[in-house]
A and B are shown apart, each in its own frame.
Chain A
């Protein structure tokens, strides 16, 4: 896909805000690294912690979950539930050796195309600096 595929970042984007935000990045020609592989999910609350652990297990260097800003969830409260889950999951992952920096959660609205591009660019740079994960 790209000349340099490392680091590999898996991105879970909610259908209503963040996926549209990524779309906006495209239509407004804001470039971002192709290290991110985007998966569209109905809601950030749909992102089962098992999916994230599985990503790391299968060799992802980092995972990004992006959803609607708190208060803007299409399903009213999906991202609030998600926020609690991710806060705990990040602690558990870090405890088991997956550094907390490798799992990032961001709120990206449908109009924040440029911001999405910046988030992905910064995240990719940071992960490049950190290097690949040491153990699975």
Chain B
């Protein structure tokens, strides 16, 4: 999460404005995720999938980021990345919502969640532990 409080703004006619893109990959239902910021010119033509892959393979993570990444990895063992309930096909801008910080800095925000589906109370064979 950014160190400033994000404040959702109504969408306005600013599609052509150059804004950074904030990608947040969130493990399951957690409130905070791994945040990657892409500057204008670096993300427009990229697929969301590729931006997510870049963020997940980023090096030099802080300890806090590493813990979040481990959480994401755990969710992805039998889970899937979804953006607002959709598969993450297409470009990042297709999923972006315009927001601004309290200081008035505008950006595009794309939240991606690693969600593990639940199966049910099935009785299945498992190896002895």
Are A and B co-members of a single complex? no
Residues of A within 8 A of B (CB): none
